[in-house]
Amino acid sequence: MDSAALLDLLGNENRRRILRLLARKPCYVTEISEYLGVSPKAVIDHLRKLEDAGLVESHMDERRRKYFHISRNLRLEVNVSPYEFGAKSAYPASRSFDITAWRHLTVDVSLEENGHDPGELASELKELHDLENELSMAQRWVQGRITETVEDLTDAVDGDADGDGRLHADVLVTLADGKQDTTELSEAVDAPPTVVEESLVALAEQGIVDRDEDGWYLREE
């Protein structure tokens, strides 16, 4: 999608809020409407624009409710400086992209200042532009790997298609930092304590987490 059109699309706060919500779990129109505090008609209009842009898709559950979810992984970069303004969007590198074999990825921070010699300064600027391009590709690779790993983790904890798996994954990622109680986890994953407690119980039944007097923690293999 054209970067300018994407910026226009994401310039609307409610569309950004919809995407933040859908990044947590698939939702149907009524859920989104209650979350945003706007009418279902307005939500449908926002969803239509996001669908037309290819950012959002929908599916029906067994009760014939139409759920919306984010359909693609996209990175948008905006650069604003006294010498440059630009935006570019890119899809993350595919699973087949092997960054370990990319011999050109070298983060060299040992560049020395070259005084005021125009030739040396031009060479330094060229090296910095090359490094900027390399880092952009590395960010695309990381973005793609994050998405794949979240999907794998969601599948591994037996979550359903309506969002439990993603919540389980968020809880586990938070617990990877150390023991936490339900209240702390609730604040970290932005979900009600009762919902987080249900997730923890489900994960405990799978033998993935456990708790003691200090809080919940990941079980070691």
Q: Which residues pair with 27 in a beta bridge?
A: 68
pLDDT attached to residue 43: 96
pLDDT attached to residue 99: 60
Type of residue numbered 166: R
Type of residue numbered 180: Q
For the chain, 221 residues long, give each residue's pLDDT as a single digit of tens. Answer: 688 888 999 999 999 999 999 988 889 999 999 999 999 999 999 999 999 999 999 998 888 889 999 987 787 888 787 777 888 777 765 666 666 665 555 555 555 555 677 888 788 788 888 887 888 878 878 878 887 888 888 888 865 544 577 788 889 999 999 999 999 999 988 888 898 999 999 999 999 999 998 899 998 86
pLDDT attached to residue 161: 44
What gap in Å lies between CA 142 and CA 146, rounded to an integer?
6
pLDDT attached to residue 115: 64
Kindly tell me the sign of the dihedral angle through the C-alpha atoms of 49, 62, 163, 149. negative
What gap in Å lies between CA 146 and CA 30, rounded to an integer?
29
What gap in Å lies between CA 148 and CA 163, rounded to an integer?
16
pLDDT attached to residue 217: 94
Contacts of 165 (CB under 8 A, 6+ apart): 154, 155, 157, 158, 159
CA-nearest of 5, 150, 166 to 15 is: 5
Is residue 32 a contact partner of residue 70, using CB atoms and an 8 Å limit? no
What gap in Å lies between CA 32 and CA 21, rounded to an integer?
8
